[in-house]
C-alpha cells in the first residue's frame, strides 16, 4: 500500500492544512487511531480513500501520490521556464511552463535536465531567411535516435517530433527563438543557444546542402 501514498505525506499535508488527526478522521469516517497508524507507517489507507484524502487536503490524487504539491503561482508567464517530461515506456513528450506533477503509463515523471550539446550530440544551426534550419549529427536507428527538436522563445514553443530511421533535422520560424532543445532516447535532453555558431551571412538552401555534402565526404575520408 505504501507504494501509492506514505504516512509522511499524509502527516505533512495534514499539518500544512492545520487539520488535527481527529478532524481528518471525522472527514474520512475513520478512527483517530487509523490516522495515527497511517502517519507512523503501521498501517495504510484503503485505496478507496485516496480521493477523499486528496479532497481534504485540496490537492489532486496525483499530487497526493507523488508527495509533490503544485502551487498556483504565476510561474508560467515566461516560456523560458519550460520543462520537458519524457515517458520511458511509450516515449510520449509532455511540455509544461514550470514544474508540474506528470505521470504516463503509471510512471511518475521528473523533468529532464538539459545538458550542453557535446561531441556525441553535435548540433548545426543555419539561418535561412526567416527560418532556422537545425540538424543534429546523430545516428537515427531503431535503438538510438533523436526523439524531438524544439525551439524556444520567451513567448512560444515550436516542436518537431522525430522518428527512428528518419532525418535528425527540423525548421523553425526565427521569431525570437532563444534556445534549441533536442532529446536523445539514450542520453537525455540537450540544449544550445540558438545564435551560437550561426554564420551571420545569408545562406541559401543550396549552400546548406553543399556544406552537408562536404561534411559527409569528410566523415567518409577521415572517419
* pLDDT at residue 20, rounded to an integer: 93
Domains and CATH numbers, the chain: 7-66 (1.10.260.40), 79-109 (no CATH), 115-222 (2.60.40.730)
Q: How far apart are the first and last CA of the chain?
A: 55
Please report, for residues 142, 158, 170, the alpha-carbon distance to residue 154 in angstroms, rounded to integers and kept in the order given. Answer: 34, 12, 20
Grid cell in block for residue 118 = 557535446
Cβ atoms of 56 and 30 within 8 Å: the answer is no
Q: What residues does 161 pair with on adjacent strands? A: 148
* Full pLDDT tens readout for the chain, 223 residues: 344 677 888 898 999 899 999 999 999 999 999 999 888 888 888 888 888 998 998 888 777 877 765 554 444 446 778 899 999 888 899 998 877 778 888 788 889 999 999 989 999 999 988 999 999 999 999 999 999 999 999 888 999 999 999 999 999 999 889 999 999 999 999 999 987 645 433 444 445 555 556 556 555 654 5
Please report, for residues 124, 172, 180, 190, the alpha-carbon distance to residue 160 in angstroms, rounded to integers and kept in the order given. Answer: 16, 9, 11, 15
* pLDDT at residue 24, rounded to an integer: 93
* pLDDT at residue 167, rounded to an integer: 95
Q: What residues does 180 pair with on adjacent strands? A: 151, 192
Amino acid at each position: 500500500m505504501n507504494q501509492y501514498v506514505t504516512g509522511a505525506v499524509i502527516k505533512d499535508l495534514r499539518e500544512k492544512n492545520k487539520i488535527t488527526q481527529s478532524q481528518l478522521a471525522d472527514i474520512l469516517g475513520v478512527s483517530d487511531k487509523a490516522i495515527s497508524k497511517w502517519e507512523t507507517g503501521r498501517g495504510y489507507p484503503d485505496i478507496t480513500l485516496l480521493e477523499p484524502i486528496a479532497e481534504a487536503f485540496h490537492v489532486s490524487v496525483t499530487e497526493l501520490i507523488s508527495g509533490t504539491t503544485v502551487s498556483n503561482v504565476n510561474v508560467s508567464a515566461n516560456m523560458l521556464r519550460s520543462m520537458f517530461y519524457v515517458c520511458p515506456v511509450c516515449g510520449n513528450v509532455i511540455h509544461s511552463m514550470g514544474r508540474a506533477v506528470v505521470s504516463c503509463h503509471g510512471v511518475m515523471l521528473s523533468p529532464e535536465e538539459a545538458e550542453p550539446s557535446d561531441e556525441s550530440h553535435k548540433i548545426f544551426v543555419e539561418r535561412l531567411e526567416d527560418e532556422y534550419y537545425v540538424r543534429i549529427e546523430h545516428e537515427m536507428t531503431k535503438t538510438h535516435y533523436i526523439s524531438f527538436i524544439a525551439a524556444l522563445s520567451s513567448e512560444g514553443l515550436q516542436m518537431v517530433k522525430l522518428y527512428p530511421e528518419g532525418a535528425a533535422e527540423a525548421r523553425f520560424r526565427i521569431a525570437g527563438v532563444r534556445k534549441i532543445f533536442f532529446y536523445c532516447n539514450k542520453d537525455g535532453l540537450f540544449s544550445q543557444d540558438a545564435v551560437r555558431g550561426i554564420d551571420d551571412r545569408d545562406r541559401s538552401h543550396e549552400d546548406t546542402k553543399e556544406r552537408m555534402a562536404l561534411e559527409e565526404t569528410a566523415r567518409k575520408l577521415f572517419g
